[in-house]
Structure 1
């Protein structure tokens, strides 16, 4: 913890008090939460960014979309629009945000919507002629105005919420006690060979309640990088000179997976809107070499960088073990909730 964050400790206490009072008012039904007659799954975290919400949402889409009509609802962080928008043919990263646009492009069979007011967003989705059967709320763990039927809380390996503190001294949006609302807790970005001993140690540190399930996932990188019109095996480009570009919260694993000594790595803030100056720098550094970026950044860079040079590396969330139990818990909730509705 750096000195500035230590000096801001009184503000962290004040912020923690405010969020605790807010949660207390919702818990005691003094502030109203709204429920809906369909399965609503909220995926979120206690900390600020970087826990892998997008791969987790995509995992749920793959799990459920063959059998159910799915809609995702996000706030559309850093979009240049307001209010409710249901993604259509003219959607782009500027109008709905980079992550929702990624969902829209990858999963054409689902509905993708954005609205900072999740209650209004759900009501708008349910007013459509084609109504969803399941709604996945992206980054909505603190959005207490909507009471989801099921909560999945993510926390990063090596940066567990149990070891963190409230903003601005730490990175938590609310007290660690907020984890009690979760049905499932997923420790993300683990080593793929995480030992049972370390899993047990993390479980003790998180101090789960008896009705909560715990899972461990790792980031699985694709064997190919993908451009507009072609793909190349990762093994084939390992020794090429290239420029690696990442506008994500924690880019180090992305860089280390692809990097060799001849590469240039450019790191930008999470959800960065690339300026003309940024684009010029990327082009000048790349010259005729290929440029590889994250899937999220690709949707914002496409059209600004020559198509023949620009590629992205897809990722997926994979379970260290127990994926069948995770899947069964989700499918059982959806099936029960659907029958009840």
Structure 2
């Protein structure tokens, strides 16, 4: 596959032209974007997966829910359903996708919807009896048919978009110039002790405009594993080998964290959003202890039933200057509502 991607570099200029023209047509008004007099925040990236959109969406949910009725809207990647679907107690990952299901199960009173058409999805949400007051668009940076009021662009510390090239050889979905559409750029998955000099260097490399701000976030892994029955300390696994199962774009930070804890494990790595087959489940059912991500857990747990040896490791994100980040979100939403300042 790597060899094929290298060979495909001859196609990169054509992809550049097509994607550049597509976005310029929206900028020039040749293609129309639907505007909504409503607070809509988009969390996205320039690359294919692996930048930490899910924990950032969850950060925003925690920030906004004390003040507003919040909805998330995504396409529901790899779901088997079509059109607009509103999550409810009968939903599973095949109907709405794994990340939307994770949001629904984790956040009480959150409205979770999926639709491949973001315009239709927003219109449907605004017609609900209990309609949301703020909508979070998950992975919609390239979906220009909605004129988003606030764009947040994520890029991973060890894989900055300025170091990449376009598909099919690289992972960029569109030319780097697209970053100009973002109000905030968040460099994710940073080392916890990132120096100010490193931050300035990264900011310089990304060539931000005057109206853009940059923030840096790091991943925090819990010290406890969780399933539907119990919690288990990570330290209790020392000397007890287990199997790590991942179906995410970039499992390296998790693998590095577990190795850093001195734990012994085998790693079964699948593609992002992997659909676990019957053969996969039979193999996993033979393992003594399974540890996975929260996103993978919502796909695996229904297929493995109530087996108590399946756990997930929760994660959160920490922002370097959370109060300023929160104020940026608050300032945008204040254009629509009169609100008190967010808690830091």
Q: Supply the distance in 2 between the matched residues of 1:2 and 1:111 (Cα, whole angstroms).
A: 40
CA RMSD in angstroms comes to: 1.6
Residue 293 in structure 1 maps to residue 304 in structure 2: no
Residue 265 in structure 1 maps to residue 267 in structure 2: yes
Runs of at least 4 residues off by over 6 Å: none
State whether residues 40 and 134 of structure 2, in contact with CA within 8 Å, keep that contact through their aligned partners in structure 1.
yes
| 1:336 alignment partner, SS class | coil
State whether residues 237 and 263 of structure 2, in contact with CA within 8 Å, keep that contact through their aligned partners in structure 1.
no
Aligned pair count reads 336
| TM norm structure 1 | 0.95
What's the CA shift string for 1:90-125, capped at 9, x where partnerless? Answer: 111110000000000001211000001000000000
> Deviation of residue 261 (structure 1)?
6.1
Counterpart residue number, 1:338: 337
Q: Supply the distance in 1 between the matched residues of 2:293 and 2:82 (Cα, whole angstroms).
A: 26
Residue 254 in structure 1 maps to residue 263 in structure 2: no
Q: Supply the distance in 1 between the matched residues of 2:64 and 2:214 (Cα, whole angstroms).
A: 20
Pick one of 266, 277, 280 that aligns with 2:279: 277
**Equivalence map 1:179-194=2 (5 Å):** 179-194=179-194
> Deviation of residue 332 (structure 1)?
1.4
Q: Supply the distance in 1 between the matched residues of 2:292 and 2:256 (Cα, whole angstroms).
A: 13
Residue 163 in structure 1 maps to residue 160 in structure 2: no
Counterpart residue number, 2:11: 11
Structure 1 alignment gaps of length 5 or more: none
Q: Supply the distance in 1 between the matched residues of 2:284 and 2:264 (Cα, whole angstroms).
A: 15
State whether residues 75 and 115 of structure 2, in contact with CA within 8 Å, keep that contact through their aligned partners in structure 1.
yes
> Deviation of residue 6 (structure 1)?
3.5
Counterpart residue number, 1:312: 312
Q: Supply the distance in 2 between the matched residues of 1:261 and 1:99 (Cα, whole angstroms).
A: 27
Q: Supply the distance in 2 between the matched residues of 1:338 and 1:136 (Cα, whole angstroms).
A: 16
Q: Which moved more, 1:6-15 or 1:59-68?
A: 6-15
> Judging changes above 3 Å, is the alpha-carbon distance between structure 1 residues 2 and 291 closer, same or farther for their aligned structure 2 residues?
closer
State whether residues 39 and 338 of structure 1, in contact with CA within 8 Å, keep that contact through their aligned partners in structure 2.
no
Q: Supply the distance in 2 between the matched residues of 1:212 and 1:153 (Cα, whole angstroms).
A: 11
> Judging changes above 3 Å, is the alpha-carbon distance between structure 1 residues 335 and 293 closer, same or farther for their aligned structure 2 residues?
same
State whether residues 50 and 248 of structure 1, in contact with CA within 8 Å, keep that contact through their aligned partners in structure 2.
yes
Counterpart residue number, 1:26: 26
Q: Supply the distance in 2 between the matched residues of 1:2 and 1:312 (Cα, whole angstroms).
A: 31
| 1:141 alignment partner, SS class | coil
> Deviation of residue 290 (structure 1)?
1.9
Counterpart residue number, 2:302: 303
Counterpart residue number, 2:78: 78
Counterpart residue number, 2:342: none
Q: Supply the distance in 2 between the matched residues of 1:125 and 1:190 (Cα, whole angstroms).
A: 35
> Deviation of residue 256 (structure 1)?
2.6
State whether residues 238 and 258 of structure 1, in contact with CA within 8 Å, keep that contact through their aligned partners in structure 2.
no
Q: Supply the distance in 1 between the matched residues of 2:323 and 2:243 (Cα, whole angstroms).
A: 38
> Deviation of residue 2 (structure 1)?
5.4
Counterpart residue number, 1:327: 326
> Deviation of residue 236 (structure 1)?
1.9
Counterpart residue number, 2:101: 101
Counterpart residue number, 2:341: none
> Deviation of residue 18 (structure 1)?
0.6
> Deviation of residue 5 (structure 1)?
3.1
> Deviation of residue 168 (structure 1)?
0.9
Q: Supply the distance in 2 between the matched residues of 1:332 and 1:262 (Cα, whole angstroms).
A: 47
State whether residues 238 and 264 of structure 2, in contact with CA within 8 Å, keep that contact through their aligned partners in structure 1.
no
Structure 2 alignment gaps of length 5 or more: 339-344
> Judging changes above 3 Å, is the alpha-carbon distance between structure 1 residues 295 and 261 closer, same or farther for their aligned structure 2 residues?
closer
Q: Supply the distance in 2 between the matched residues of 1:237 and 1:70 (Cα, whole angstroms).
A: 38
| TM norm structure 2 | 0.95
> Judging changes above 3 Å, is the alpha-carbon distance between structure 1 residues 212 and 30 closer, same or farther for their aligned structure 2 residues?
same
Counterpart residue number, 1:148: 148
What's the CA shift string for 1:282-340, capped at 9, x where partnerless? Answer: 222x1xx2211000000011032252111000111111x2111001110111122336x
> Deviation of residue 77 (structure 1)?
0.1
